[in-house]
Structure 1
Amino acid sequence: MIDFWLAAGLLLLVAMAFLLIPLLRGRRAQTEEDRTALNVALYKERLAELAAEHAAGILDDAQLQAGRNEASRELLADTEGDGERRSRLGRVAPLIAVVLLPLLGLGLYLHWGASDKLALAREFAQPPHSMEEMTARLEKAVKAQPDSAEGWYFLGRTYMTQERFTDAAAAFERAATLSGRQAEVLGQWAQALYFANGKKMAGQPQTVADEALKQDPHEVTTLGLLGIAAFEDKRYADAAGYWQRLVEVLPGDDPSREAIQSGIERARQRLAERGESLPEAPAAPASNGLQLKVEVSLSDAVKGQVKPDDSVFVFARAVNGPPMPLAVKRLKVADLPRAVTLSDADAMMPQLKLSAFPNVELVARVSRAGNAISGEWIGRSQPLSTTAGAGDQAVTIDSPDSH
């Protein structure tokens, strides 16, 4: 804070200078006024001398008048511009203003300023020494900025690592309200409620989880949570189903895939011990053999912004229908340009196939994080009719991805 107060003090000195300079000029004007009074006194004395000499017969009338004229010219020369030099500014008012200015400025800053946020920003610039210190900083942050959804979200995550589940649930609830109830935040909130409720999904945890999946059927935290809750309730088929859905949306290199696959195998084993097995997925109705061929490429401007290992997701989604992709394939930037064929065999969910929707849009997205629903660059096609035969298409990735 020292550099801040030094800068504030410098600005204050500049402001005080605007008040002190006129005061100093006023004192100089007073000196000029005193000198003018002396010149007038000398002028009167000179007139008296001329009158005495005229009375003594030393000067005649013409000489007397000439002497008076000369004295007048000298007085005029000495007092020229005197009206401009005189200052009507008093001495007391500027001095009072100089004293009150820093006090007024300090009072206004303490009332409307953001010294707490400035101190907090400096504090966050330094790495925390413990989890407790990080928690304290986040608590200060949400107190200084109570409308920050991001602040409440990270505070909730920190509470979860400390197993303060009730506090975490309250933080995520606030974050959900401020963020417009985004699916990701709802998933975290449902998870905190589940643990705060003694690992029971009944009631509010289930309600929040259902809302999260309604907004995003692929919300990973919610799918993982529902799988855990089903496994704890010995509903092993449901647990395996949720976890299988989770595996399908995770990137291929996600480190958690192995643990989730292990969970699915454990659920299968528990079912086998009961003499049961996972139900077979219902046979999908025969498709109409729909295939969409698309040539995917990068614009020249984007080529310099991406890396060869960045993921590229090519998918089709319904123009009027669910927001999730109907069919998707994953590539790398190094694979482009490349022709890709999307068909019902690439459906992410058996009940959502390309052939079930009359109009679709083709999308190609570059995601450095390997996330199919958000990334850095994107390209889109015009709406296509799947009933009239779309033919070969081309999609160029050329625009920043605004999700």
Structure 2
Amino acid sequence: MIDFWLAAGLLLLVALSFLLIPVLRSRRAQLEEDRTALNVALYQERVAELQTQQEEGVLDAAQMDAGRAEAARELLADTEGVAAPRVTRLGKPAPLLAAILVPVLGLGLYLHFGASDKVELTREFSQAPKSMEEMTQRLERAVAAQPDSAEALYFLGRTYMTQDRPADAAKIFERTVNLAGRQPELLGQWAQAQYFADGKKWSDKVQALTDEALKADPKEVTSLGLLGIAAFEAERYQDAIDYWNRLLEQLPADDKSRIALQGGITRATEKLVASGGQVVKAPVAKATALLKVSVDLAPDLKAKVQPGDSVFIFARATNGPPAPLAAKRLTVADLPATVELSDADAMMPQLKLSNFPEVQLVARISRAGKPTAGEWIGRSQPLASSTTAPQTLTIDSPDK
């Protein structure tokens, strides 16, 4: 904050200069005016002396005129270059009073309406915290300075959870929900904090929060994980396995938490078998999206391609990630061909055709065998992922 106040002080000096410089100039003008008045008085005194000498017969008329002319020349020489006095309506006290009131009023207004605390927080957040306690203090000050910031509240709640302060986290997540709305992720975080704040006791409140979160988003990960933990603690091992398997399907393949989650499923399975039970595997859901597409080459391209050139046929979301949702690979020799794209062809478990309402079909020829770049391409118009009618796709354009 030191550099901020130094900059503010410099700007204040610049502002005061506009008020004080005219005062200093007027003082110099006053000195020049006083000197001019003195010269005029000396001139008048000299003329009176010459008149006295003329009356006494010491000087004749010619000598009188010559003396008076000499005195006038001296007066003009002394007053040459002196500007005419300027008259101001404000007077001298007004600028001096303004010079005092401007900084005092400006400082008072800034302290009342300004954001010096936010400036300091911005400076702090530009530097990495030295400890978790320092980070927590910063977030608490950020929330105090911006009580309507849902983002600041959310991060403070997550920080409280990492510090094993679930009761404080639950209150913060409740405030976040009141500000940002009842979003599934926020409801899941609130339910989790409330569960641990209650000493790992399941309550109607936690049940209502998880039910609401999963109703809005059946794949909400925090709620699925929490329900699995609660089921395991209540020795409902089959329910724990089911919830954790659903959570496992949502996690990326390289997510480090998959190992711990798989370990939990294994422990729940062992305890279920040890108690005389048997694991019931959830039925494999059928693909809810199935697109049937016939692909062929435009006649004028058949002489420009090689039989071994790769042909990538895929569907991608119209509004979503650019990665293909489902894909098949053929060669030019296989064309014309009819393929089916479904959830079973998903490139990643969390990116399925059925997860996106609208998709586009694409067929690309790539001599280098790269699905992301090639020589020729064909694209369909956007269509619903639930479309059951067969589609036709023609490769007819240069791939730019």
Report the TM-score, using the length of structure 2 for normalisation: 0.71
- Mapped to 1, the partners of 2:160 and 2:289 lie a distance apart of 49
The answer for the alignment partner of 2:107 in structure 1 is 106
Number of residues of Structure 1 aligned to a counterpart in Structure 2? 347
Contact 1:33 1:86 (C-alpha < 8 Å) held by counterparts: no
Contact 1:186 1:208 (C-alpha < 8 Å) held by counterparts: yes
| Residue-by-residue CA offset, 1:346-379 (whole Å, 9 max, x unaligned) | 479x9x996999x732499xxxxxxxxxxxxxxx
The answer for the alignment partner of 1:342 in structure 2 is 341
Identity %: 60
TM-fit CA distance, 1:77:
6.5
Q: Determine if the alignment matches structure 1 residue 121 to structure 2 residue 119.
A: no
| Residue-by-residue CA offset, 1:245-296 (whole Å, 9 max, x unaligned) | 2111211111111221222233333333433331441674998773598xxx
- Mapped to 2, the partners of 1:193 and 1:356 lie a distance apart of 30
- Mapped to 2, the partners of 1:353 and 1:266 lie a distance apart of 30
TM-fit CA distance, 1:70:
6.9
Give the match's secondary structure for 2:268.
helix
CA distance change for structure 1 residues 285 and 125 in 2, over 3 Å: closer, same or farther?
Answer: closer
| Residue-by-residue CA offset, 1:286-329 (whole Å, 9 max, x unaligned) | 98773598xxxxxxxxxxxxxxxxxxxx865699xxx999x935
Contact 1:30 1:86 (C-alpha < 8 Å) held by counterparts: no
- Mapped to 1, the partners of 2:190 and 2:394 lie a distance apart of 42
Superposed counterparts of 1:1-16, under 5 Å:
1-16=1-16
Superposed counterparts of 1:236-255, under 5 Å:
236-255=237-256
CA distance change for structure 1 residues 98 and 108 in 2, over 3 Å: closer, same or farther?
Answer: same
- Mapped to 2, the partners of 1:247 and 1:77 lie a distance apart of 102
The answer for the alignment partner of 1:384 in structure 2 is 383
**Structure 1 unmatched ranges of 5 or more:** 294-313, 332-339, 365-379, 399-403
- Mapped to 1, the partners of 2:119 and 2:137 lie a distance apart of 16
Q: Determine if the alignment matches structure 1 residue 274 to structure 2 residue 279.
A: no
Superposed counterparts of 1:250-265, under 5 Å:
250-265=251-266
Superposed counterparts of 1:4-403, under 5 Å:
4-52=4-52, 54-55=54-55, 56=57, 58-60=59-61, 75=75, 79=79, 84-86=84-86, 88=88, 90-272=91-273, 273-281=275-283, 284=286, 290=292, 328-329=325-326, 342-346=341-345, 360-362=358-360, 382-384=381-383, 386-392=387-393
**Structure 2 unmatched ranges of 5 or more:** 296-313, 329-338, 363-378
- Mapped to 1, the partners of 2:353 and 2:252 lie a distance apart of 22
TM-fit CA distance, 1:53:
5.2
Contact 1:147 1:178 (C-alpha < 8 Å) held by counterparts: yes
CA distance change for structure 1 residues 34 and 103 in 2, over 3 Å: closer, same or farther?
Answer: same
Contact 1:328 1:342 (C-alpha < 8 Å) held by counterparts: no
CA radius of gyration, larger in = 2
CA distance change for structure 1 residues 101 and 292 in 2, over 3 Å: closer, same or farther?
Answer: farther
TM-fit CA distance, 1:102:
3.2
- Mapped to 2, the partners of 1:72 and 1:292 lie a distance apart of 114
Please, what is the CA RMSD of the aligned residues?
Answer: 4.3
